[in-house]
Structure 1
Amino acid sequence: MAYTFDFSGRSALITGAASGIGAASARWLDDNGIEKLWLIDRNGEGLDALDLSCAVEKRCGDVADETFWSGLEEEIDALDHAVVNAGIATGGEIATLAFDDWRKVMDVNLDGAFLTLRTALRKMLPAARGSIVVTASVTGLKPVPGIGGYGTSKAAVAHLARIAAAENARHGIRINAIAPGGVDTAIWDSGEDFRAATRKYGREAAIGAMGKDTPRGRFATPEELAGDIGFLLSDMAANVTGTVLTSDGGYTL
């Protein structure tokens, strides 16, 4: 077997593909020869804005909707790779967090990840091969006050990935998770404090200020995370399954 980043003749599914890590992963796979991408997001305009050379199937839908996945499962013949990436953020300390906000983040980040993972596995099992990466978060490893819903959902998806890896290694399917630290993506734009800092200092300065808290001194780019994900998907990581790769610029040191 040639251990390269050559994805020619293969297909992949990516959720949360319209922006950030998902969009960067789509571009990375396209640059490395992927034949076909299934791109999922609620943001149809963002999906349409992606300029890719491979065959692309774009679907707008809610990853937490089982009916959506049932329909898509009938459309996909087979699948080689998947990036389980869709996610949303929520803020607030546990004592003051509204249950509706808790449920919303669990619906997308955990239930959506489960449904995505289940569909991908069902499409990989007949061929007894494949690889999957689930986007977790360093906040699922390190307790960070004020984001209990988000951090808990990401801890859960990391463990979900490890259980799936244990169940499917004998079937030739690898599943890993990646736990990013701060990444410059649109997920920050939903936070009230970040929006206030952006209005006062500008977005670049606001992101830069937060990144100074890491030993590396800055947040990662989506492209850097896409490279990590691409490695885990590739044959270069043939012996890696059930791991949670921390990619946080040293934040957890």
Structure 2
Amino acid sequence: MTQPQDFAGRSALVTGAASGIGAACARQLAARGAKRLILVDVDAAGLDALDCDCSVERVVGSVGDEALWRDLEPRLEGLDHAVVNAGIGAGGAIADLSLADWRRVMEINLDGAFLTLSAAMRAMRAHGRGGSAVITSSSTAVKPVPGIGPYGVSKAAVSHMARIAAVEGAANKIRVNAIAPGGVDTAIWESSEEFRASVAENGREATFKAMASTTPSGRFASADEMAETMLFMLSDAGANITGHVLVSDGGFTL
């Protein structure tokens, strides 16, 4: 099936673009006609390796750095879409976490999402055509999972931020939604020592199969699957959808 050119001539911002869901979104936006992409990640090599057939501006830095957004915001002029995706994982029980551990996650997952979304919405408001944004939340924002407190809390917060932003942006024709994936095969798992140990002992495929045993579908999604859904919400096909948090988790939260 030929991809529709439903982003023809559009510009889009994607954070966390060097791998996983962000990279999949960037590739699919380009394949579907995007004219210009602004890609942000701390991983310079990953950004350089990303091949997109359109004009690409690669920005290396942390989304939690306010100075990055001060420098970047003038270059967001004319922005049509934003994929607010950058995030990090974390482990540890709430009673045992230090404030530094907590803040490390919030700086990227919540503060970074706020800085990204607010800059994107200002750019969309300025040109008057409106636009759309999708924030990557998580099924752990819906279903409490022990041992990942800061991650789950940060994702619950960005889900609600999407709803508030949707109400605030409506007058300027700006739509904001969130997606709450369950397990997805992305590089974020590499931050887990337990995951790395299992891969070393059992292999990546067996590790993901075991992890997916708590999901009714019995599988984790691919980054491309998530990107397809996110681009639907971003596109004109999703024009009547705003303030929605879409759970796409293979039944994990049932």
Q: What is the TM-score of this pair, normalised by structure 1?
A: 0.97
Q: Which residue of 2 aligns with 1:139?
A: 140
- SS state at 1:212 partner: helix
Deviations 1:17-70 (A, max 9, x none): 000000000011111111110000000000010111111000001101111100
Q: Is the 8 A contact 1:5 1:236 kept in 2?
A: no
Q: Which residue of 1 aligns with 2:156?
A: 155
Q: Is structure 2 residue 119 aligned with structure 1 residue 119? A: yes
Deviates more, 1:221-230 or 1:197-206: 197-206
Separation in structure 1 between the aligned mates of residue 53 and residue 66 of structure 2, nearest angstrom: 30
Separation in structure 1 between the aligned mates of residue 234 and residue 219 of structure 2, nearest angstrom: 26
Q: Is the 8 A contact 1:137 1:181 kept in 2?
A: yes
- SS state at 1:146 partner: coil
Task: Report how many residues are paired.
Answer: 250
Deviations 1:89-123 (A, max 9, x none): 11001011121110000000000000000110011
Separation in structure 2 between the aligned mates of residue 128 and residue 110 of structure 1, nearest angstrom: 27
Separation in structure 2 between the aligned mates of residue 37 and residue 74 of structure 1, nearest angstrom: 15
Give the aligned residue type for 2:211.
M
Q: Is structure 2 residue 29 aligned with structure 1 residue 40? A: no
Q: Which residue of 2 aligns with 1:59?
A: 59
Q: Is the 8 A contact 1:5 1:231 kept in 2?
A: no
Q: Is the 8 A contact 2:81 2:132 kept in 1?
A: yes
Please tell me the root mean square deviation across aligned C-alpha atoms, in Å: 0.9
- SS state at 1:33 partner: coil
Match runs of 1:69-148 below 5 Å: 69-126=69-126, 127-148=128-149
- SS state at 2:206 partner: helix
Q: 1:215 to 1:5 in 2, by over 3 A?
A: farther
Give the aligned residue type for 1:230.
L
Deviation at 1:76, TM superposition (A): 2.4
Q: Is the 8 A contact 1:138 1:248 kept in 2?
A: yes
Q: Is structure 2 residue 4 aligned with structure 1 residue 8? A: no
Q: Which residue of 1 aligns with 2:215?
A: 214
- SS state at 2:34 partner: coil
Q: Which runs of 5+ in 2 are unaligned?
A: none
Q: What is the TM-score of this pair, normalised by structure 2?
A: 0.97
Separation in structure 2 between the aligned mates of residue 41 and residue 67 of structure 1, nearest angstrom: 15
Separation in structure 1 between the aligned mates of residue 41 and residue 69 of structure 2, nearest angstrom: 12
Which stretches of structure 1, 4 residues or longer, exceed 6 Å deviation after superposition?
none
Deviation at 1:205, TM superposition (A): 1.3
Deviates more, 1:195-204 or 1:129-138: 195-204
Q: Is the 8 A contact 2:6 2:32 kept in 1?
A: yes
Separation in structure 1 between the aligned mates of residue 233 and residue 92 of structure 2, nearest angstrom: 33
- SS state at 2:88 partner: coil
Give the aligned residue type for 2:86.
A
Q: Which residue of 1 aligns with 2:179?
A: 178
Deviates more, 1:93-102 or 1:150-159: 93-102
